[in-house]
């Protein structure tokens, strides 16, 4: 069994791309163990037995505290990135695990990555910067260097961690930060899991910054790297074999636009982009690519909106009262009643986007779990009394409804505190 464990993180709709990544890794490193952190739920009738992973880890089984409430706070992209440190922790504790590598599902390996493994022989953490050389034009500075200042110096489409004491300490620290702060909120200094890694070289010993041109090649560094083709048809970067290429933003068309802007006269780049387009074209109609995200809907099938996730994330009282907000008989009922009273702009299509920006403009720790101080014994007594004395139950129900109409669940909670 290999002591090198590699993982990626994705929901069902991205598994076809995961397959491309893992097939490329199998080609160059058949000895590695490949894992999928599934930001989704396994479901009957979906057969993954022929996929090229050695093991699937559903996010709900990664030991994340208050999982249902926490997951609700995230969009599909946020959740796929937020589970990464928890998956890393799991893999680092596997028997015989020595090194763990993470790669984004939209990357492809083109040659062996032995230099990354060698770097971990003398380091605890290996990172790759978005850029390794200064840009030469103002346009490129704005597109690439300033973009890195906003999104993070290091690209988290890749990270490698040794199963050392420092490696474990890093994974613990990262998971603690990401538990509360994994969101795309650039004005408040956050970009999912990525901005946190700017602190890693200062916080932890043995951090290797891999500046080799051959790794994590992407549109943001094509201006300073020369991608070419050998006579035998192999890709090279600045004279070295291409290690792995990151096809970020491909589905939106952004990748092709930026590749043309940053390397418009480079035929090798043009050929590589067209190759990936052809490969992914065949994946669009795959059943897996069309699988709905399990965490995108309430239990009755109602789609969950960004506004609903945002309000739940910011309101600790709602987290306490509704530990499973996916249950359509709980948080959704509050949203359709009291939510309309408290957040009318969120129900107006024209004003919603602006209202959400204003609501989230002040940074908070977000989800804090089921921190309820409700006296459940007291509540149980009230319910028992209501059951055996219908008149009392009617009076309690009437009063509860009056409080709910005027003060919402926050008011009900205040009256139930022990």
Give the model confidence (pLDDT) of 68-98 as tens digits. Answer: 999 999 999 999 999 999 999 999 999 999 9
Residues constituting the chain: 418
* pLDDT at position 45: 86
Q: Domain containing 350: what range?
A: 300-416
- State the CATH number of the domain containing residue 216: 3.90.550.10
Q: Looking at the structure, do residues 159 and 268 belong to the same domain, yes or no?
A: yes
* pLDDT at position 413: 55
* pLDDT band, residue 414 (cuts 50/70/90): low
Nearest to residue 19, comparing CAs of 294, 290, 283, 285? 283
Residue 286 belongs to a domain: no
> Are 51 and 19 in contact, with CB atoms under 8 Å apart?
yes
Q: Looking at the structure, do residues 322 and 244 belong to the same domain, yes or no?
A: no
- Tokens 């043995």 -> residue: 206
Residue 287 belongs to a domain: no
Mean pLDDT score across all residues of the chain? 91
d(CA 270, CA 260): 8
Residue 88 belongs to a domain: yes
Three-class secondary structure of residue 236 per DSSP: strand
Q: Looking at the structure, do residues 134 and 14 belong to the same domain, yes or no?
A: yes
* pLDDT at position 2: 77
Number of compact structural domains in the chain: 2
Residue 276 belongs to a domain: yes
Q: Looking at the structure, do residues 237 and 149 belong to the same domain, yes or no?
A: yes
Q: What share of the chain is helix, strand, coil (3-state, %, to 5)?
A: 50, 15, 35
Q: Looking at the structure, do residues 128 and 235 belong to the same domain, yes or no?
A: yes
Q: Which of 281, 312, 341 is the last residue of a domain?
A: 281
Q: Looking at the structure, do residues 320 and 268 belong to the same domain, yes or no?
A: no
* pLDDT at position 282: 84
Q: Looking at the structure, do residues 189 and 93 belong to the same domain, yes or no?
A: yes
Q: Looking at the structure, do residues 93 and 159 belong to the same domain, yes or no?
A: yes
* pLDDT at position 148: 95
Q: Looking at the structure, do residues 362 and 330 belong to the same domain, yes or no?
A: yes
* pLDDT at position 285: 85
How large a percentage of the chain has pLDDT more than 70? 88
Question: Mind listing the pLDDT tens digit for each residue in 113-141?
Answer: 999 999 999 999 999 999 999 999 999 99
* pLDDT at position 376: 43
Whether pLDDT at 329 is above 50: yes
Question: Mind listing the pLDDT tens digit for each residue in 151-209?
Answer: 999 999 999 999 999 999 999 999 999 999 999 899 999 999 999 999 999 999 999 99
Residue 289 belongs to a domain: no
Give 336-396 as a 3 state SS string: HHHHHHHCHHHHCCCCHHHHHHHHCCCCCCCCCCCCCCECHHHHHHHHHHHHHCHHHHHHH
How large a percentage of the chain has pLDDT more than 90? 83
Q: Looking at the structure, do residues 277 and 304 belong to the same domain, yes or no?
A: no
* pLDDT at position 395: 66
* pLDDT at position 416: 55
Q: Looking at the structure, do residues 270 and 324 belong to the same domain, yes or no?
A: no
Whether pLDDT at 381 is above 90: no
Question: Mind listing the pLDDT tens digit for each residue in 265-304?
Answer: 999 999 999 999 999 998 888 999 999 999 999 999 999 9
Q: Looking at the structure, do residues 276 and 316 belong to the same domain, yes or no?
A: no
* pLDDT at position 402: 63
DSSP per-residue codes, 222-233: TTSS-EEE-TTS
> Are 97 and 163 in contact, with CB atoms under 8 Å apart?
yes
Q: Which of 247, 281, 315 is the last residue of a domain?
A: 281
């Amino acid at each position: 069994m290999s002591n090198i464990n590699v993982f990626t993180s994705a929901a069902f709709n991205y598994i076809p791309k995961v397959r491309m990544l893992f097939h490329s890794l199998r080609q160059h490193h058949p000895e590695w163990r490949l894992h999928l952190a599934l930001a989704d739920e396994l479901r009957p009738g979906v057969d993954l037995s022929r996929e090229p992973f050695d093991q699937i880890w559903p996010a709900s089984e990664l030991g994340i505290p208050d999982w249902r409430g926490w997951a609700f706070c995230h969009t599909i992209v946020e959740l796929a990135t937020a589970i990464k440190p928890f998956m890393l922790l799991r893999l680092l504790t596997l028997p015989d695990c020595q090194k763990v590598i993470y790669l984004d599902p939209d990357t492809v390996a083109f040659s062996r990555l032995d230099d990354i493994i060698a770097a971990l022989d003398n380091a605890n953490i290996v990172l790759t910067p978005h850029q390794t050389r200064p840009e030469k034009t103002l346009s490129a500075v704005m597109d690439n260097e300033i973009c890195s200042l906003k999104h993070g110096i290091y690209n988290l489409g890749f990270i490698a961690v040794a199963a050392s004491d420092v490696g474990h300490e890093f994974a613990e620290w990262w998971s603690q930060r990401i538990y509360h702060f994994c969101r795309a909120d650039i004005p408040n200094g956050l970009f999912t899991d990525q901005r946190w890694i700017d602190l890693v070289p200062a916080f932890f010993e043995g951090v290797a910054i891999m500046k080799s041109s051959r790794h994590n090649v992407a549109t943001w560094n094509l201006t300073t790297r020369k991608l070419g083709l050998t006579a035998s048809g192999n890709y090279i970067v600045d004279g070295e074999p291409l290690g792995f290429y990151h096809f970020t933003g491909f589905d939106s068309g952004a990748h092709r636009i930026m590749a043309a802007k940053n390397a418009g006269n480079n035929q090798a780049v043009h050929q590589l982009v067209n190759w990936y387009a052809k490969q992914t074209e065949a994946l669009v109609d795959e059943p897996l690519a069309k699988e709905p995200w399990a965490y995108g809907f309430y239990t009755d099938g109602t789609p969950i909106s960004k506004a609903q996730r945002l309000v739940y994330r910011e309101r600790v009282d709602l987290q306490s009262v509704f530990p499973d907000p996916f249950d359509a008989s709980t948080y959704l009922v509050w949203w359709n009643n009291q939510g309309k009273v408290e957040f009318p702009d969120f129900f107006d299509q024209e004003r919603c986007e602006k209202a959400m920006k204003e609501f989230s403009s002040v940074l908070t720790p977000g989800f804090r779990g089921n921190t309820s101080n409700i006296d459940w014994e007291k509540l149980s007594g009230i319910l028992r009394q209501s059951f055996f004395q219908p008149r009392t139950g009617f009076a309690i129900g009437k009063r509860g409804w009056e409080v709910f109409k005027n003060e919402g669940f926050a008011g009900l909670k205040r009256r139930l505190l022990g």
